[in-house]
Structure 1
């Protein structure tokens, strides 16, 4: 079902969560450039547009000018210095967003080859909940899941049962 997708479990669970809360008649602004997950959403009948790759810490024009009814943000807020600014700028009344959770046994992700592919934040659930509350959102549903890897060792064992991803459905107050 998910052609050319490395994180198949994450995409499957994210799509199921989206389908639970968002109808295919609602327009979606997906934060970030077109990606495998936004392509899957389109293939499932959602009307999705993406931001253009601008630095959302510096330029929220695409968010402000959007007339989408829903905003999705899948693993994007951890890359921003100030997700607060983006969350306050959203005009839509519905938000579906996921973030990686902070793991006590691992450092925040930092690509050695791509300067843009680094996590400034890895959240604890209460931190992300508080950020949403402070920016005018009320969480209506949430889910967490682990991200097992097929390796041997202590950390791979912990990844089998330690939640790594956190997804929420929220509505504007």
Structure 2
């Protein structure tokens, strides 16, 4: 299976979900700087442009001026102080977004090396659903998956059974 060659289960689950809902070719605005998953989307036939590293809490220009058909937001909204603002500013009719779920047995992610690489939010699924609803999105499909790690201990064992990622396909509600 082609997906097995991806570096992680997260990439495999994400591209499978994206392809289920977004036909090709499609022009996608991917929130966040270019990354390995941007390349995967391009390899699979999508036309992808990324934001350029601007602070999307403060500068919504790239989002509000985009002519993309679809916006993707893969593991970026949890890094924002106010993800509502960017979700509200999106002009497209289609959104595919994923977030890491809050794990009751682990602290929120915070990089020791990079002071900007931390999670301001780690959502429960209902919180993310509510955020999207409040920003004018109707969820059409959702999916969760686990993220096992190859370590020994109680927390690594719990990661085999506890969903870590949550992805949704949503469409802009007619207001």
Shorter-chain TM-score: which interval? over 0.9
- Over 3 Å counting, the alpha-carbon distance change for 1:95 and 1:18 in structure 2 is same
Q: CA deviation at 1:25?
A: 2.4
Residue 116 (structure 2) pairs with residue 116 (structure 1):
yes
27 and 76 in structure 1: CA distance in 2 versus 1, 3 angstrom threshold? same
Secondary structure of the residue aligned to 2:165 is: strand
Aligned residue number for residue 97 of structure 1: 97
Task: Check whether the contact 2:51–2:62 (CA below 8 A) recurs between aligned residues.
Answer: yes
Q: Mapping of 1:43-62 within 5 angstroms?
A: 43-62=43-62
The alpha carbon displacement at 1:24 in A equals 1.1
Partner of 1:133: 133
TM-superposition CA deviations, 1:76-109 (whole Å, max 9, x none): 0000000000000000000000000000000000
Q: What are the ranges of 5 or more consecutive residues in structure 1 without an aligned counterpart?
A: none
Q: Which runs of 4+ in 1 moved over 6 A?
A: none
TM-score, L = length of structure 2: 0.95
Deviations 1:26-73 (A, max 9, x none): 210000000010110001110110000001011010001100010000
Give SS of 1:102's match: coil
Give, in whole Å, the separation in 1 of the partners of 2:24 and 2:13: 17
Are the counterparts in 1 of residues 4 and 12 from structure 2 also a CA contact under 8 Å?
A: no
Question: Secondary structure of the equivalent of 1:32?
Answer: coil
Where do 1:12-51 residues align within 5 Å?
Answer: 12-51=12-51
* Alpha-carbon separation, structure 2, partners of 1:4 and 1:141: 26
Give the alignment's TM-score, normalised by structure 1: 0.96
